[in-house]
Structure 1
């Protein structure tokens, strides 16, 4: 499948984000920070209200659950209406969810707020990624803009919980929920003046097709499987490292530092990627990331000191942090322009479904074969998947 733009090899190079891209990244940060803040405040209020850890687990799952079911309709809607209208609906839903928590801070309403803010963030990210991908000119600029765009969620994952925590300590949970309700409104202020792209041309005589039809294309199917494998590795690290650290007798602060080092490394590599984008190919970066991840997962269970685990975590952050911009760049090049929204939605649905299901699978597997066995099993699967990432170069050669 070839993108309708076909502007792949003659892209202008840019050293930093344009003014409009910077505004869109800022909008993404505010909206995503609202969800991230709610993801801290809502479970904390539930625990303080006497709800069990199981109930809190269900509450946290709801933030991702809506995105599983909403991703495909949101992608089709973005294909029809562009950026501003989907983003406006998303900000309204996120604001409503947070406002309901302000008015009725009880568990059922917190669950509804989780559904609304999670779904809003997913729908907005689909519209935003589609818009940014269509605005880019050529493969080099695609890699650059998606590298810049990937920094936003990483920063908002710090900003949202930090702001919510300070608000809770200063004025209570209602103040925190009110602050989270203001953030989506600020987000819309950055998007409302964005330049809307003209609708892409639809091939003459082609009827609307469901997003699932994209899976019939070999390159897209490979890309989605590779993305799922690497996203699962991210979930493995987040879920298993606290368990492994507990087995090693590490303190909570040390375990948090190890996970924090992973996140910082992922941000740093995404800051550097726009600089080197003109010198790398997507399939090469993805294949290298998969090989490095498989090797590091083999080594991780053998490490006992906090320093060694921290170093391994940093290297994993570099490997996995480099993947998303390359995945998004490839996706926009191998799918028709008038179906970019569907493609982005299908990818988001797969990732969120994995985030809901995989931690439960890892827990069962860990009880059966041990934490080291989980690492080694995932390493073997990822190593086997490198053949698919290597064959993505066929898509690169065909463009």
Structure 2
């Protein structure tokens, strides 16, 4: 049993989770608000949609390249030092945007905020995962932690828009620069175990970690989930536009997906002790494939809302199960690195999948993209059965 788990009585787990969720919400909300503010500012300055798209993409781009070093850094130093570095980077980026609100500086701010959020998320996920004392606790912990980005995506843009309307862009950036400081204060109260901060280097290479049979299968299942998620977020507006739906109708459809995610993540902890991660992951990816195949045949906006809710519920339960299983099949000294690999693949798909889907849909239409992606997810879900006999280190 890792030292960190033994150092934390079970009664403290709830407070550690609450602090971790609050800290992640503060950092993620700052990034989400900055993403909206930078996009609106660039548009108001006359930049093209392509330039704004490139700007927004940089929030995810930095995480692709920084995730692996961030994971190793967390393995060596635990929670507090990575969060401190993340807070410095995010605050610096937001203050620079407030001081010099020009496109090149906004790009730098996006890189700093995106990299900071990813680095802190890896450290926080590693921290709470090492506090859990059983597989059931792991599932519950990661389900609650997964609610943080969902809350942040609501809080950040809403607050940023409110401040921009009343005080302008500079004030919005400055106020959002205070949010990471709150995350730092929360991290200082964390009770970090003795296993962190040893400064030791994990044995083996990243390639060896990737070649581990169960690791590669789990990451593939996570990739199918990410592709399905990006498909829904990007292609629903395209399909809705093709059908002549109003913007409010398309927004409602996407909101139904978010509601499904929130609902399932609240419900999972209630029966986490009776769940088998491999089975839930396999069934969820398979069901997502079926729903994606059926999506273009939804006859009405109401049917699309129902399908979006089901897709949100299906995909929303996968991430906590992947994180739980990742901690169980990975050596304790390399859990940060494993989390980093997962985050790197997620962010790489966030950068590349919309570009690929946009190009394919322009040639063959939105419906064919749904069909092909659904078939791929459905076929790929069969790999999940290989996780049934995965060794677990609890």
Correspondence 1:283 to 2:274 = no
Deviations 1:190-248 (A, max 9, x none): 1111111221799x9x9733323201200000000110111110000000000111111
Is it true that 1:343 corresponds to 2:375 in the alignment?
Answer: no
SS class of match (1:18): helix
In the TM superposition, structure 1's runs of 4+ consecutive aligned residues that sit over 3 Å from their partners are 396-399
Give the corresponding residue for 2:50. 54
Per-residue deviation, residues 86-114 of structure 1 (Å, max 9, x unmatched): 00000110000000011001111000000
Contact 1:126 1:345 in 2 (8 A): yes
Q: SS of the residue aligned with 2:177?
A: helix
Q: Which residue of 2 aligns with 1:157?
A: 153
Equivalent-residue separation in structure 1 for 2:317 and 2:383 (angstroms): 17
1:44-123 alignment, distance < 5 Å: 44-123=40-119
Determine the structure 2 residue equivalent to 1:240: 235
Q: Secondary structure at the match of 1:224?
A: helix
The answer to whether the Cα contact below 8 Å between 2:328 and 2:392 also exists between their aligned partners in 1 is no
* Equivalent of residue 209 in structure 2, options 214, 219, 244: 214
Give the Cα separation in 2 of the matches to 1:398 and 1:31.
Answer: 31
Which residue of the other structure, out of 294, 317, 320, is the alignment partner of 1:322? 317
* RMSD across aligned positions (CA): 2.1
TM-score (norm 1): 0.94
- Output the TM-score relative to the length of structure 2: 0.95
Q: 1:182 is matched with which residue?
A: 178
Question: How many angstroms apart in 1 are the aligned matches of 2:69 and 2:2?
Answer: 22
Q: How does 1:1-399 map to 2 (within 5 A)?
A: 18-199=14-195, 208-395=203-390
Unaligned 5+ residue runs, structure 2? none
Identify if the C-alpha distance between structure 1 residues 183 and 398 changes in structure 2 by more than 3 Å, giving closer, same or farther.
closer
What is the CA–CA distance in structure 2 between the aligned matches of 1:104 and 1:229, rounded to whole Å?
Answer: 40
Q: Distance in 2 between matches of 1:369 and 1:116?
A: 37
CA distance in 1, matches of 2:208, 2:86: 26
Q: The residue matched to 2:303 in structure 1 has which SS?
A: helix
CA contact (8 A) 1:17 1:148 kept: no
Taking a change above 3 Å as real, the CA distance of residues 201 and 34 of structure 1, as seen in their structure-2 partners, is: closer
Q: In the aligned structure 2, how far is the partner of 1:387 from the partner of 1:368?
A: 30
Unaligned 5+ runs, structure 1? none
Q: Deviations over 1:234-272 (max 9, x none)?
A: 000000000111111110011001101101110110011
